[in-house]
Amino acid sequence: MLNERKIMVLQAIIDDYIRSAEPVGSRTIARRYNLGVSPATIRNEMADLEEIGYIIQPHISAGRIPSDKGYRFYVDVLMEPSEIPEGKRSEIQRRVGAISHEVEQLVQEASKLLSVLTNYVAVVLAPQMNKCVIERIQLLALDEYRILLVLVLYPGLVQNRIVRMPGTYDPDALPQISRELTERLQGVAYRDLLSSLIKEIKREYGDLGAALLDVIAGELVDSKQEKVFLSGAISIFEQPEFKDLERAKGLLGLLEQKDALSGLISTLSRYSGVQVTIGRENPMEEIHECSVVTSTYSVGSKVMGAIGVIGPTRMEYANVYSVVELLANSLSEVLTDLIK
C-alpha cells in the first residue's frame, strides 16, 4: 500500500511544505526532488496518498499539504532527529551551565535558548514543588511578632514565608520546634502535606505551632500554581499561518494564561522522553493548528519539570526534536549537579 515511491513523494511534500508554507504541486516535486518520474505519475501517487489521508488539498486547484496524520507518520517513521554539531552542542551546555546559582534564572535562560534555537514559542516549567519531599523546616525569629519560615525541599528547592503571629511568642522555643517539625515531616512528599496530617500535629502544639502549620498548609494551596517561563511569543508572527489575526489571538490568549499553559505542558509530557503532539491531537482548541514538542527533565532520578516548544503543525520537527532533547538533558544535568 505504501510503496517506496509513495513514501518519497510524501517526504518531498512534507519537506517542501515545511520549508515554503505553500501547497506543493506535482510539478514542483518532479522538478526539485528528482524521483525520475513525470508529474503525472506523481499526481497519481498523490491521489493515493490523499485517499489514505496523509495529505490534503486545500482547494481543488492547489497543491497538497500534509495532514495531521501525514505529519504523524513523518514524525514516527520518516524523521531523523537532526544532528546538532558538537560546537553548538557545547555552546548550549556552556550557556545553561553558566547560570548555576539560581534555579529560576536558570530555567528562564533555558526557555530563551529554546526559543532562539527553534524560532518557535518556548515554554519551560520550573521544578515543581509538589513533586518534592520535605527535607527540613527551620523557623527564625525576626522580631517579636514575625517569624521567618524556611522550608527546604528535596531536591533543591527552598521556600520561605514570613509568618505573623497573633501575639508575641517565645523566640527561644523556635529551634526546638524546628527540630521537631523537621523530624516529623522529613521525607513527607510536599503534595501529601494534607490538612489531616497538619491537624494531627496541630494538636500537639499551642498557638505557635497552629499558626505556623496554617501557613504551611496555605503554602500547599498556593503551590498549585506552578511557575512557567515563556519565550519567543512574538516568533509566531514569523509564521505565515498566523497572518490571520484571529488565530494568532487565540494562541496568544492561551500563552497568557500561565496556568492553562502549564497544565498543557504537564499533560503532554506525561511520559518521560521527547513527545510530539500534532495538531488536533492537542487537548485545547486554540492549538489545533499547532504542534507541541515536549520533554521532561529530572533532578537526580526524579522527574521535576518539563519543557516544550509550540509551533505551527508545519514545524521543523527534526530540529525541534533534537533541541528539546538536548536542552532537557542539559537542564537535568545542571540541576542535578546543583543539588548534589
φ/ψ (deg, to 5) at 189: -65, 140
Q: Are 96 and 331 in contact (CB under 8 A)?
A: yes
Q: Are 122 and 232 in contact (CB under 8 A)?
A: yes
Q: Does 133 bind a copy of itself (CB under 8 A)?
A: no
Among 23, 25, 70, 232, binds a copy of itself (CB under 8 A): 232
Q: Does 215 bind a copy of itself (CB under 8 A)?
A: yes
Per-residue binder mask for a copy of itself (CB under 8 A), 47-86, x = binder: ----------------------------------------
65: which strand partners?
Answer: 56
Q: Could you tell which of DNA, a copy of itself, none binds residue 24, using a CB distance below 5 to 8 A set by kind?
A: DNA
- What does the chain come to in residues? 340
| The three three-digit cell numbers of residue 272, written as one number | 518521560
Q: Are 101 and 289 in contact (CB under 8 A)?
A: no
Number of residues interacting with DNA: please give it, by CB under 7 A. 25
Per-residue binder mask for a copy of itself (CB under 8 A), 82-101, x = binder: -------------------x
Which residue, 111 or 291, has its beta carbon nearer to a copy of itself? 111
Count Cα atoms within 13 angstroms, Cβ side, for 327.
Answer: 32
DSSP state of 301: T
> What ranges make up the beta strands (E) of the chain?
55-56, 65-66, 121-125, 133-141, 146-154, 157-164, 228-231, 275-278, 290-299, 302-312
Among 7, 39, 136, 159, binds DNA (CB under 7 A): 39
List binders of DNA among 45-104 (CB under 7 A). 46-47, 50, 57, 59-64
Q: Does 138 bind a copy of itself (CB under 8 A)?
A: yes
Which residue, 30 or 236, has its beta carbon nearer to a copy of itself? 236
In the bound complex, what is the minimum distance in angstroms from residue 101's beta carbon to a copy of itself? 6
Q: Are 294 and 324 in contact (CB under 8 A)?
A: yes
Instruction: Cell 497543491: give the residue.
Output: 63
Tell me how far apart the alpha carbons of residues 307 and 298 are, in angstroms, rounded to a whole number.
11
Which residue, 65 or 185, has its beta carbon nearer to DNA? 65
Q: Could you tell which of DNA, a copy of itself, none binds residue 41, using a CB distance below 5 to 8 A set by kind?
A: DNA
> Which pairs count as long-range contacts for 171-176, CB under 8 Å and 24+ apart, including other chains?
171/141, 173/208, 174/139, 174/140, 174/141, 174/147, 175/139
Per-residue binder mask for DNA (CB under 7 A), 4-33, x = binder: ------------------xxxxxxx-----
Residues that bind DNA (CB under 7 A): 22-28, 36-41, 43-44, 46-47, 50, 57, 59-64
